[in-house]
């Protein structure tokens, strides 16, 4: 019987190369502009999708992945900027839930009254219903599996991924998101991947390694993406073990 694969989403090469090299019997396909690497890990089918940066790219690539492969799980992984003073470059954040940090409603202001993003509210806009704050949830079973995996080179934080097409460098804005909405980090793909996966009832989990912390002045380090892949490889092994038992 053919097994349905696990799909791993990665926006950049530095977030995918290590895992691609772990694939056995690898084949490669491009659909639209998105790259799909098919293979096996421990004889279980794995698809790594190179989805490129941003929520629109991630939405399209996740939809294609679901329609084409009918996965048993989607694992979103890569890098992110920290949203807390106790979260450092090289740490991991596991997304128990995810919130869209660019879906905002502003207070009314007259001409000349300016703009203040610290007064904005995060909302999901729902046709025919009351607009409200809504978090997308990660799969509880996979979160529990993630808690079993050692990570000797940093701290693992469990909580909320902030996500949207923005790179925040204003310390007050970052702390406002952290304090008001519980965000531990921000990236540009997770909210799309979580939302599409949940819409299709596909279990999803996000793993993000911290690449920089604007609050603490820790500069962006591109190569931290390796750490999330190493952790995700161990998580894949746990998922495969559970799927095969």
β-strands 136-137, 92-100: how paired?
A: antiparallel
Q: Dump strand ranges (E) for the chain.
A: 6-10, 24-31, 34-41, 44-50, 73-82, 92-100, 104-105, 121-122, 136-137, 156-163, 183-187, 204-212
Q: Cβ distance 47 to 180 under 8 Å?
A: no
Please give the share of the chain, as a percent, with pLDDT higher than 90.
93
DSSP 218: B
Decide: helix, strand or coil at residue 76: strand
The two tokens of residue 48 are 């790594």
Positive or negative: CA dihedral 117, 123, 127, 130 = negative
**In the chain, which residue ranges form alpha helices assigned H by DSSP?**
17-22, 55-69, 140-146, 171-181, 190-199, 225-244
CB proximity list for 69: less than 8 A, separation 6 or greater = 4, 5, 7, 47
What pTM was estimated for this model as a whole?
A: 0.95
What is the number of residues in the chain?
Answer: 245
Rounded alpha-carbon distances, angstroms, from residue 133 to 20, 59, 155, 169: 37, 20, 29, 23
pLDDT digits (tens, 9 = 90+) for 125-145: 988 888 999 999 999 999 999
Confidence of residue 151 (pLDDT cuts 50, 70, 90): very high
Task: Identify the structural domains of the chain with CATH numbers, from first to last.
Answer: 6-98+133-244 (3.40.50.1580)
The two tokens of residue 65 are 């992945």
pLDDT digits (tens, 9 = 90+) for 102-113: 999 999 999 999
At residue 160, the pLDDT reads 98
Is the predicted pLDDT of residue 1 greater than 70, yes or no?
no
Q: Give the C-alpha separation, 234 to 245, whole Å.
A: 17
At residue 245, the pLDDT reads 61
Q: Give the C-alpha separation, 117 to 140, whole Å.
A: 33
Q: How far apart are the first and last CA of the chain?
A: 15
At residue 244, the pLDDT reads 67
Q: Which of 58, 28, 43, 57 is nearest to 236 (CA)?
A: 43
Q: Cβ distance 59 to 196 under 8 Å?
A: yes
Burial 1-22 (b: 16+ CB within 10 A, else e): eeeebbbbbbbbebbbebbbeb
pLDDT digits (tens, 9 = 90+) for 67-104: 999 999 999 999 999 999 999 999 999 999 999 999 99
């Amino acid at each position: 019987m053919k097994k349905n694969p696990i799909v791993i989403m990665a926006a950049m090469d530095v977030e995918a190369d290590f895992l691609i090299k772990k694939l056995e019997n690898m084949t490669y396909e491009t659909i639209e502009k998105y790259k799909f690497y098919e293979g096996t890990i421990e004889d279980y089918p794995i698809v790594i999708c190179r989805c490129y940066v941003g929520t629109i790219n991630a939405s399209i690539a996740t939809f294609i992945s679901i329609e084409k492969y009918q996965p048993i799980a989607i694992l979103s992984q890569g890098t992110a900027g920290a949203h807390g003073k106790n979260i450092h470059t090289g740490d991991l954040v596991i997304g128990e839930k995810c919130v869209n940090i660019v879906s905002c409603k502003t207070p009314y202001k007259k001409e000349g009254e300016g703009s203040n993003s610290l007064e904005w509210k995060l909302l999901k806009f729902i046709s025919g219903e009351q607009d409200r704050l809504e978090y997308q949830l990660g799969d509880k079973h996979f979160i529990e599996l993630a808690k079993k995996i050692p990570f000797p080179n940093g701290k693992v934080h469990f909580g909320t991924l902030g996500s949207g097409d923005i790179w925040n460098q204003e310390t007050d804005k970052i702390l406002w998101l952290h304090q008001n909405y519980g965000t531990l980090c921000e990236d540009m793909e997770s909210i799309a991947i979580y939302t599409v996966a949940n819409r299709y009832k596909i279990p999803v989990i996000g793993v993000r390694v911290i690449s920089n912390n604007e609050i603490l002045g820790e500069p962006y380090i591109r190569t931290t993406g390796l750490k999330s892949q190493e952790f995700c490889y161990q998580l894949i092994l746990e998922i495969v073990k559970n799927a095969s038992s």
